[in-house]
Amino acid sequence: MIQKDRCVIIVKAQPHRSSKYFETVCAAGVGADGTWRRQYPVPFRILNDPQKFGRWQWIKYEFIKSDGDSRRESQKVIPESIEIDGTLKPSERSGLLAPLIRSDFAEANNAGESLTLIRPVEMDFTWNKKTESELADERQKHATLASQLSLLDNTAKALDPCPYQFFVKWKGDGGKSHRHESDDWESAAAFGRFKRLYGEEDALNKLREKYEKYLAAGLALAFSTHKRRNVTNSTSNQWLLVGLIRIDEPSTPDLFR
C-alpha cells in the first residue's frame, strides 16, 4: 500500500553500487512528530535536479514498506514522488533533534531503534589514503556503472571516488573508546570542495578543523544499523557511522539577568 510522508533530511550516506538499482543512497530524516524515517534505496544521482535534497531540507514523498527490511523506521521511497518542501531553520534544529540523542548504543538498543544520535565528548577525525590500485578499481567500477545509468539518464556521469577513507575515533559519556569508518557523504563532498580551494593536504586539515569546531559547539554522530545485521534479523545490532552533524547544545537561560 502506498503511503505519504514528510521529514527533514539529517543523513545522506555515500552512494553505493547496487546489482539491483545500479547505485543507491541511504538517507534518513526526522518527521514533524520527532521520530526517525529511513529512505532507502534512493537513486539520488539520477533524480531530477529539483528533487536533489540536502541536509536540513524537508521533503515530501510516497513510500511502501519493504518486504526485505523489517526495521521499523525504513521506508521504500517512490523516487518520482520526492518533492523538496522547505528548509529547517538553524534555530529549530536542536529542539527537533535533542530528544533523539542517546547516551550510548545500549540506550538505542533498549529503545528498539535502528537509527540514533550520540554526542561524543572526545573525537579525532582521521583518514587513510587509498592505494592507486584501489582507486583505479573504484574508478573502473563507477565508469561501468555510469554506462548502465545512462540507459536511465543520459546525463549520468561516473562518480569520482574520494581518495581517502575517513574514520572517527571517539568517546561518549561512558568513557568507552570507539572507532568507526565514516560513510557520511557530506564529509567526502566537503573534502572535494576544500581540495579545489586549498589543495589536498590543506583540505584534510580544513576538514579536521571543521569537525573540531562542531565538537566545541555541539556535534552529534549519526548511526544506522546494518540492514542485515540487526536485532530484527535475530543478530546483534551492527552500528554504522553515517553522519557527523552539527547540533548546537541547547542554550541555558541566564536566570540572573
Query: Is the CB of residue 190 less than 8 Å from the CB of residue 197?
Result: no
pLDDT in tens, 9-46: 999 999 887 766 677 899 999 999 999 999 988 988 88
Does the pLDDT value for residue 145 go beyond 80? no
- Gap between the Cα atoms of 13 and 20, Å rounded: 18
Examine the pLDDT at 257 and tell me if it is beyond 50.
no
Q: Residue for cell digits 586539515?
A: 205
The percentage of the chain sitting over the pLDDT mark of 90, rounded to a whole number, equals 72
Mean pLDDT of 81-101: 96
Distance CA 232, CA 236 (A): 9
pLDDT tier at 150, thresholds 50, 70, 90:
low
All 3 cell numbers of residue 62? 510516497
The pLDDT-based confidence of 256 (bands split at 50, 70, 90) is very low
Per-residue pLDDT at 162: 93
Instruction: Give Rg (Cα) of the chain.
Output: 19
Asked if residue 202 lies in contact with residue 28, where contact means CB atoms within 8 angstroms, the answer is no
Whole-angstrom Cα distance, residue 149 to residue 163? 23
For residue 60, count other CB atoms closer than 10 A to its CB.
14
Q: What is the rounded distance in angstroms from the CA atom of residue 130 to the CA atom of residue 61?
A: 37
pTM listed for this prediction: 0.91
With CA atoms as reference, report the closest residue to 24 among 196, 199, 183, 219: 183
Contacts of 235 (CB under 8 A, 6+ apart): 228, 229
- 138 vs 63, 141, 180, 221, CA distance in Å? 31, 5, 21, 27
Long-range contacts of 92-95 (CB under 8 A, 24+ apart): 93/56, 93/247, 93/248, 94/218, 94/247, 94/248, 94/249, 94/250, 95/250
209 three-state secondary structure: helix
Separation CA 171–CA 120 (nearest Å): 6
pLDDT top residue among 46 and 116: 116
Q: 131: helix, coil or strand?
A: coil
Give the separation between CA 36 and CA 8, rounded to whole angstroms: 10
Judged by DSSP in three states, 91 sits in: helix
Give the mean pLDDT of the chain.
90
All domains of the chain in start order, with CATH: 3-89 (2.40.50.730), 122-246 (no CATH)
Among candidate residues 33, 27, 81, the one with its CA nearest the CA of residue 55: 27
Mean pLDDT, rounded, for 162-186: 95
User: For the residues 107-112, what does the mean pLDDT come to?
Assistant: 94
> pLDDT tens-digit profile of 123-138?
999 999 999 999 999 8
d(CA 113, CA 72): 8
